[in-house]
Amino acid sequence: MAETEQPQIYLITPPTFELSHFPATLASVLDAHDIACVRLALATRDEERLLRAGDALREVCHARDVAIVIDTHLLMVERLGLDGVHLLDGSRSVRKARKALGDDAIVGAFCGASRHDGMSAGEAGAEYVSFGPVGTTPLGDGTVAERELFEWWSQMIEVPCVAEGALSEALIGQLSPVTDFFGIGDEIWKSEDPAKALATLKSAF
CATH number at residue 79: 3.20.20.70
The dihedrals phi and psi of 120, each to the nearest 5 degrees, come to -65, -40
Number of domains in the chain: 1
Domain range for 184 is: 8-202
CB-based burial of residue 187 (10 Å sphere; 0-12 exposed, 13-18 middle, 19+ buried)?
A: buried
pLDDT for position 186: 96
Please tell me the distance from the alpha carbon of residue 26 to that of residue 62, in angstroms, as a whole number: 12
Q: Report the predicted TM-score, pTM, of the whole model to 2 decimal places.
A: 0.96
Q: What is the pLDDT of residues 8-53, one digit of tens each?
A: 999 999 999 999 999 999 999 999 999 999 999 999 999 999 999 9
pLDDT for position 103: 96
Task: Specify the 3-state DSSP secondary structure of 74.
Answer: helix
Q: Is the peptide bond before 133 cis (omega within 30 degrees of 0)?
A: yes
Please tell me the distance from the alpha carbon of residue 123 to that of residue 109, in angstroms, as a whole number: 12
| Assigned domain for 2 exists | no
Q: Are 171 and 177 in contact (CB under 8 A)?
A: no
Please tell me the distance from the alpha carbon of residue 80 to that of residue 58, in angstroms, as a whole number: 8
DSSP for 88-111?
SSTTTTHHHHHHHH-TTSEEEEE-
Q: Considering only CA atoms, which of 7, 17, 53 is closest in space to residue 167?
A: 7
| Assigned domain for 46 exists | yes
| Assigned domain for 3 exists | no
Residue 139: pLDDT band with limits 50, 70, 90: confident
